[in-house]
Amino acid sequence: MSKPPVLTPEQRRAALEKAKQFRQRRSVVKSDIKAQKLTVSQVIDLAQNDEAVAKMRVIELIESVPGVGKIRAQSLISKLDISPSRRIAGLGAHQRANIVKEFALPIDSSAHGRLVVLSGPGGVGKSSVAKALRLRDEFWVSVSATTRAPRINEKNGVDYFFYSDEEFDQAIKDGKFLEWASFAGARYGTPKQPVMSALAEGKNVLLEIDIDGAKQVKAHEPSALLVFLEPPTWEELVARLEGRGTDSEERRAARLALAQEELAQASYFDKSLVNDQVDAVVEHLIVLASS
Ligand code: 5GP
């Protein structure tokens, strides 16, 4: 191998600056792939005239595709017989054609969306996060079934499916729930079929459920990402639970006791987020789902 040229300080500065610009460009392209603004095939085309993209490693390209992730990217790249260190510019015509075929439109029809479970103590603000996520395209948010009575302003089919005890028993018998659990005297369950359909369509799915339910989901779907939502402080959680005018005093006391037990379970989760701002939590979940 020939010796690298000796660079003057100016040349070195210029080279470092160029490398930085290339990294920034690649990071924009990867975000666009994650946001489904660019397809794999479009990025491979871009590499013809864009040196920064041409130097992107193929594994980085594949990992950026929604629903793929690091582990699946490794198996795909070996299936496609491409070296993990290969850059887009170094792909042969045959390899290029195989990748494009693998990720044929829509972006990656074989990819499943990400299943994200948001849990944490009652009163921490999970439902506000879920509500905000319903307004975003990045997630499909599951609607649970429950045997508890609707609160004022809650609508059947929007906030929950309100079931009688008999209806809930029947749904359990028919295997209609992905998970179900009892919480503060009522039962709550996640309808399985809509979740599976959304995932199969490549959508990220959010379940906003209690901790018991989160553990059941992980047992069935080890790839699910369990996110624990923490209150900024215990005092704030108490204030929120006490201030809930929609619950009876007895129910509030039961929730407080439960919340204490629940807080101790954060370590079981893949990720903890502090709920000091709903918007920040929403953005964080969107990033987590695409990583
Ligand atoms: P709430 O009655 O305040 O709407 O909800 C009480 C608790 O039930 C919350 O912790 C909420 O996350 C949880 N929950 C809501 N839906 C489900 C579900 O489908 N399954 C489980 N396991 N918990 C749920």
pTM for this entry: 0.63
Q: Please say whether the dihedral angle defined by the alpha carbons of residues 12, 13, 15 and 20, taken in this order, is positive or negative.
A: positive
Q: Please, what is the angle between helix 278-289 and helix 126-134, to 10°?
A: 70
Alpha carbon of 210 to ligand 1 centroid (Å)? 5
Confidence check: pLDDT of 288 > 50: yes
**Which pair of structure tokens corresponds to residue 288?**
């987590």
- Our CA angle for 239, 243, 248, nearest 5°, is 125
Q: Please give the Cα distance from 92 to 108 (Å, whole number).
A: 22
Residue of 116, 163, 183 best suited for mutating to test ligand 1, as the one with most atoms within 8 Å of CB:
183
Q: Where in the chain is the domain with CATH 3.40.50.300?
A: 115-290
Q: Please give the Cα distance from 95 to 243 (Å, whole number).
A: 61
Which residues have a Cβ under 8 Å from the Cβ of 225 and sit 6 or more positions away? 114, 115, 116, 117, 270, 271, 288, 289
Ligand 1, atom 1, lies closest to the CA of 122
- Dump strand ranges (E) for the chain: 115-119, 139-141, 145-146, 161-162, 177-183, 186-191, 204-208, 225-230, 271-274
Identify the pLDDT of residue 1.
58
DSSP-assigned letter for residue 159: T
Strand 161-162 with 204-208, pairing: unpaired
Q: Dump pLDDT digits (tens) for 152-206.
A: 999 999 999 999 999 999 998 877 899 999 988 899 999 988 998 898 889 999 9
Q: Please give the Cα distance from 183 to 127 (Å, whole number).
A: 15
Q: Dump pLDDT digits (tens) for 107-146.
A: 333 457 899 999 998 889 999 999 999 999 999 999 999 9
Confidence check: pLDDT of 151 > 50: yes
Residue of 144, 152, 244, 265 best suited for mutating to test ligand 1, as the one with most atoms within 8 Å of CB:
144
Which residue from 121, 120, 112 is spatially nearest to 140, judged by alpha carbons?
Answer: 112
Q: End-to-end distance of the chain based on CA atoms, in angstroms? A: 38
Alpha carbon of 188 to ligand 1 centroid (Å)? 6
Mean pLDDT of the chain: 88
Q: Please give the Cα distance from 202 to 54 (Å, whole number).
A: 28
Alpha carbon of 38 to ligand 1 centroid (Å)? 37
Residue of 146, 159, 190, 241 best suited for mutating to test ligand 1, as the one with most atoms within 8 Å of CB:
146
Q: Which residues line ligand 1 (CB under 6 A)?
A: 122, 126, 144, 148, 179, 181, 183, 188-190, 208-210, 212-213
Q: Please give the Cα distance from 163 to 120 (Å, whole number).
A: 24
Identify the pLDDT of residue 107.
31
Percent pLDDT > 70 in the chain is: 95
Q: Please give the Cα distance from 226 to 287 (Å, whole number).
A: 14
Identify the pLDDT of residue 104.
62
pLDDT band for position 253 (cuts 50, 70, 90): confident
Identify the pLDDT of residue 247.
72
Identify the pLDDT of residue 166.
96
| CATH architecture of residue range(s) 115-290 | 3-Layer(aba) Sandwich (3.40)
200/88: higher pLDDT? 88
Residues present in the chain in total? 291
Identify the pLDDT of residue 106.
38
Could you identify the atom of ligand 1 that is nearest to the CA of residue 144?
19
Identify the pLDDT of residue 109.
39
Report DSSP letters for 14-82, one per residue: HHHHHHHHHHHHHHHHHHHHHTTSS-HHHHHHHTTT-HHHHTSBHHHHHHTSTTTHHHHHHHHHHHTT-
CATH of the domain spanning 9-102, picked from 1.10.3720.10, 3.40.50.300, 1.20.120.450, 1.10.8.50: 1.10.8.50
> What's at 272, amino acid-wise?
S
Identify the pLDDT of residue 105.
42
Percent pLDDT > 90 in the chain is: 52
Q: Where in the chain is the domain with CATH 1.10.8.50?
A: 9-102
Ligand 1, atom 24, lies closest to the CA of 209
